[in-house]
A and B are shown apart, each in its own frame.
Chain A
Amino acid sequence: MAAPHMSEKPADGVDGPSAGGSPHDDDKALQELRSLLLSEEQHEIVALRERLDNTEQRTLEVSAVVAEAIELRRAHGGQQELSAALTPTVEEAVRESVRKDSHVLVEALFPVMGPAIRRSVAEVFRSTVQSFNQVLESTFSIRGLQWRFEALRMGRPYAEVALLRSLVYRVEQVFLIHLKTSLVLQHVVDPAVVTQDADMVSSMLSAIRDFVRDSFSTQQSDSLDSLQMGQVQVWIEQGPQAIIAAVIRGQAPQELRLSLKEKLEDVHQRFSRELEDFDGNPAPFEAFRPELVACLTASYRHEKPAQSRPYLSICAIVVAVLLAGWYGYTAIQNRKWAQYVEELRQQPGIVVTSFQKANGRYRIQGLRDPLAVDPASLLGARDLDPSKAEFHWSAFYALDDSLVLKRATALLQPPADVNLAVQNGVLHAAGDSSAEWKKNMETRAPLVAGINALDDRDLNDENSPKRLKAALESKVILFDLAQAEINPRQRQNLAAAAQTIQKLLQTAPPTAGNAVVELIGHADSSGPEATNVLLSQERADNAMQALERLGVPAQSLRATGVGLSSPLRPDTDEENRQYNRSVTFRVVSPETPQNR
């Protein structure tokens, strides 16, 4: 269009001299001149016009640069505008895609849905575990007990008190309020918080802000940016069209206010038209709800681990060890004393009637036979301190066999060769004693407490057949070498033998035709054996005759010569040979089978 105007002036100048021509001629001339001068440009203009009018051509050209154009716009900082422009188209495209065939989108989202769900579940689980840990930590600590007491006093749930006391801050509610109408555009609230009607709170909040601003004649740009009541604060951020108000419990960091400002800027940027045209319908702002939900943050106090105080720990450990040691020592001592008392109860002659511990001493009370073991003597074996024992015994006679024996032994004073035993109240006496002691025993034993009967069958006094037999059989009448005559030096010995035989005959008189005592003649190895047998027989005969002369009845004696066949000692030297030149005695008891 400019081109024609630009060509008129020169044309006027050219047409000046021919002013007298007809207008038609002038136009024709002008057209010819225009064709001559601008035909090429005119063709280009026509081509451009056709190109612009050709939709297919223009689409082709735009498609060639559309990607570069978008990239260029993003590079120059127009990303938000670009996103805003494309969002409706993309959203509509997604909706259309889902409507036509939802499987396409499902397949596209399938790879990301699983991880997203898992991450969400993990986050919830982590949060739950953290809360659980906090509850556990607080439950078993002094602080937890304080909170529990406080909960009881206030009549509120423990969990609520614990939560509030461990809370640094918590954004409980966030209001997005339309500035002009004071109506709520969006309201999000922590699920754990009980709230009033959001619309009324929002309106009242706006009224308060208006009241404050009007009352204190502040500048129009000034506004109430926070309210506080007790632990609760309301942080208010105002924009040209909307307000964000966050209800916070505790002390929130200033970063939260910055976050609120950013949200406010965001909502103004994304919903400027909706804010401007707001007619009471908050539906368009539902899309901003996730942004507000993100503001519902909270922080809880994590107790620092107590500073290391090694001396306290050491003291605590020492005290604990001492206590444990003391407890253990006491338990061991008690156990040892109990075992000791049990041992006492097993002792004959001791009856424990009571055992108790008082003032660190062990008091044992009961009955004790004077001959029973000394209880104090048993303490040492168990490593018990005698100074801690306190005995209270009453004396009594115990009828235990061992104590009865002790009692009898003490009274009867048996000789060394006498052995006493008590069994079921019967005193058994065995061994060799004098006749006097035996008689004395028979008289005194029944007086011993606990002895009901006496058994002295095995007790032998000097006149008993057994002892007489042994005495006789131990005697040896010696003879000189090759002699059968009684040596004068042996006469006393022979007389003693005669006396013993006579006593023996008194206790065990001989039966008819049976000798009681056999005299056995011996010889040494000197000389021939036949001679020795005769010699030994002669020695036995001589000894028997001597005994007869001493008063021993002949029928009770018998003489036998055995030569060297039964030597008293090995015939190896002169001393032994002397012994083998002898006569010995053997009591032939009627009860002995070989002698019958």
Chain B
Amino acid sequence: MLQKKICMLGSFSVGKTSLILRFVESIFSDRYLTTVGVKIDKKIVSVDGQDVALMLWDLYGEDEYQKIRMSYLRGASGYLLVADGTRAATLDKTLAIKDEAEKNFGPTPFVVALNKCDLTEDWEITPEKEAELASRAWKVIRTSAKTGEGVEFVFQSLIKAMLAT
């Protein structure tokens, strides 16, 4: 069976762990538990009739006190860049992490997930910003770990991107 390593990248509290929980176990918890170090999950998905074992590396969220250990990203086949749509600054942080990852390990397939799309009233990322990202031929998908919206799609998109390379 084909195996792929996916790293969840993003600022703290953007919902990386919740996305994995929703994707792997189809559940959501409002209780916030910060990830310490790294947590690894596994899910087997079928893409175009081929089973793929995804090793999901849920890295702790980067903030002003701690930076992501780049060594965790080594060998990743793709990144899921997660930003909190209700905190625009997290998108910038996520993109910064992506740049640093590419600087260390070269170009790697990725998809941008703008999470917490269920919180429409608090949404801060402007349509112009989303359009600007899309203009770079990036895959940008709104997701909600709480409702499950876009979660399956964002992972499927990333897998296809990885397998296409």
Contact = CB atoms under 8 A, between A and B. Distances in A.
Interface of A: 178-184, 197, 199-200, 203-204, 207, 210-211, 213-214, 279-282
B2 A281 contact: yes
Interface string B59-72: 00000000001011
Nearest to A197: B42
Contacts of B38: 207, 211
Contact of A182 (B1, B5, B52, B53): B5
B46 interface: no
A199 B3 contact: yes
A147 to B, nearest CB: 37
5 contacts: A178-B75, A184-B3, A197-B42, A211-B37, A282-B1
Nearest to B105: A180
Given A178-B75, A280-B3, A183 B55 contact: yes
Given A181-B76, A280-B2, A281-B3, 10 more contacts: A197-B42, A200-B40, A207-B40, A210-B72, A213-B71, A279-B2, A280-B5, A280-B52, A280-B77, A282-B1
A238 B38 CA distance: 21
A279 B163 CA distance: 10
A211 B4 CA distance: 21
Interface in B1-27: 1-5
B74 A180 contact: yes
Contacts of A183: 3, 5, 55, 75
B130 interface: no
A282 B55 CA distance: 14
A182 B3 CA distance: 10
B57 interface: yes
Given A199-B3, A280-B4, A207 B37 contact: yes
Contact of B55 (A180, A199, A211, A281): A199
Contacts of A200: 40-42, 55
Contacts of B72: 207, 210
B20 to A, nearest CB: 13
Contact of A203 (B2, B5, B71): B5
Nearest to B162: A280
Nearest to B37: A211
Contacts of A210: 69, 71-72, 74
B161 to A, nearest CB: 14
A279 B37 CA distance: 26
A582 to B, nearest CB: 149
Nearest to A209: B71
A281 to B, nearest CB: 5
Contacts of B74: 180-182, 210
A203 B40 CA distance: 7
A280 B77 CA distance: 9
Nearest to A202: B55
A491 to B, nearest CB: 156
A539 B94 CA distance: 178
B42 A199 contact: yes
A214 B71 contact: yes
Query: What are the 9 A-B residue pairs with the smallest beta carbon separation, nearest first?
Result: A181-B75, A210-B71, A180-B75, A280-B3, A203-B40, A183-B3, A207-B38, A280-B2, A214-B69
Nearest to A183: B3
Which of B1, B40, B57 has most A Cβ within 10 Å? B40
Given A200-B55, A204-B40, A282 B3 contact: yes
A197 B41 CA distance: 10
Contacts of A199: 3, 42, 53, 55
A6 to B, nearest CB: 51
Nearest to B73: A210
A344 to B, nearest CB: 91
B41 to A, nearest CB: 7
A542 to B, nearest CB: 158
Contacts of B2: 279-281
Interface string B24-54: 0000000000000110111000000000110
Given A210-B71, A211-B37, A282-B3, A203 B57 contact: yes
Nearest to B55: A203
**Residue of A184, A204, A211, A280 with highest tally of chain B CB at under 10 A:** A280
Nearest to B69: A214
B45 to A, nearest CB: 13
Contacts of B55: 182-183, 199-200, 203
Contacts of A279: 2
Nearest to A213: B71
Contacts of B71: 210, 213-214
Nearest to B71: A210
A181 B75 CA distance: 4
The residue among B2, B5, B53, B57 with the most chain A CB atoms within 10 A of its own CB is B5
A203 B38 CA distance: 10
A205 to B, nearest CB: 10
A182 B71 CA distance: 11
A268 B69 CA distance: 28
A239 to B, nearest CB: 15
B58 to A, nearest CB: 10
A200 B56 CA distance: 9
A371 B2 CA distance: 112
Contacts of A214: 69, 71
* A178, A180, A183, A203 interface centre (most CB from chain B within 10 Å): A203
A72 B57 CA distance: 52
Nearest to A282: B3
A236 to B, nearest CB: 15
A184 B52 CA distance: 13
A180 B76 CA distance: 8
A213 B5 CA distance: 20
Given A280-B2, A281-B2, A207 B57 contact: yes
Contacts of A197: 42
B97 to A, nearest CB: 16
A232 to B, nearest CB: 19
A214 B5 CA distance: 20
B121 to A, nearest CB: 38
B164 to A, nearest CB: 12
A217 to B, nearest CB: 12
Contacts of A184: 3
A199 B42 CA distance: 8
